[in-house]
Amino acid sequence: MQRMGMVIGLAPDKVAEYRRLHAAVWPDVLAMISACGIRNYSIFLKEPENLLFGYWEYHGADFAADAAKMAADPTTQAWWAVCMPCQAPLPTRKDGEWWAMMDEVFHHD
């Protein structure tokens, strides 16, 4: 199992919409997340800075392949098309990232 954290900005005028969307995530999107080995997925919002922190645990063997599988799913693509206009990617993210991935610096069970 691999713990993964990521961060992205949220447009101030989209906070209510983003909360509404995530109060009722499409069931097929949730099923794809699970099918790709992702468990214990949470997104946290820090206001007033409007930063989203995402966390999940990856239980697969090939994250790149599972991420590609998710990205190829038409329902997931439609979900992202609804959510992405709400988000404000960090200018310091790596090439190819939307959410900026974070390094784990501490963990305690």
Q: Which residues are catalytic?
A: 22
Q: Which helix (H) or strand (E) holds 82?
A: helix 74-83
* For residue 85, cis peptide bond before it (omega within 30 degrees of 0): no
CB atoms within 10 A of CB 92: 8
How many angstroms separate the Cα of 26 from the Cα of each of 7, 60, 74?
22, 22, 13
